[in-house]
Amino acid sequence: MSEILMDYDWQGRKGAPTKYPWEKWADGQIRKIVKGEDYVCKSSSIQAILRSQLAKLDGMDVRTSLVDEGNAVVFQYYAKEE
């Protein structure tokens, strides 16, 4: 059950470095990231995280594919077709 808080100190997360190099990864190149080296969550989770970043990348889309028996993800951010 969720807990309703009357207040919360948001400063703990503000300004924290991002876990992944989004600006670099969103440069349009086809990239392969490997579980245990580039990410530690499930490969399906990193695919969801890659898609969730689209909200911050105006006009972009992403394609992803699980490879190496699910131990890596190939992805590419690209400009949406208008």
Please state the domain count of the chain. Answer: 1
In this prediction the pTM is 0.75
Residue 66 lies inside a defined structural domain of this protein? yes
Residue 62 lies inside a defined structural domain of this protein? yes
Selected residue with higher pLDDT from 1 and 37: 37
Instruction: Measure CA 61 to chain center.
Output: 12
Give me the domain span that covers residue 80.
Answer: 31-82
Residue 81 lies inside a defined structural domain of this protein? yes
Q: Is 33 helix (H, G, I), strand (E, B) or coil?
A: strand
Residue 58 lies inside a defined structural domain of this protein? yes
Q: Is 75 helix (H, G, I), strand (E, B) or coil?
A: strand
Query: At 65, is the pLDDT very low, low, confident or very high (cuts 50, 70, 90)?
Result: very high
Class of residue 50 by CB neighbours under 10 A (exposed 0-12, middle 13-18, buried 19+): buried
pLDDT single digits (tens) 4-47: 788 877 665 555 567 888 889 999 999 999 999 999 999 999 99
Residue 67 lies inside a defined structural domain of this protein? yes
Strand partners, 73: 33, 66
Residue 13 lies inside a defined structural domain of this protein? no
Selected residue with higher pLDDT from 5 and 66: 66
Beta-strand (E) ranges in 1-82?
31-34, 60-67, 72-79
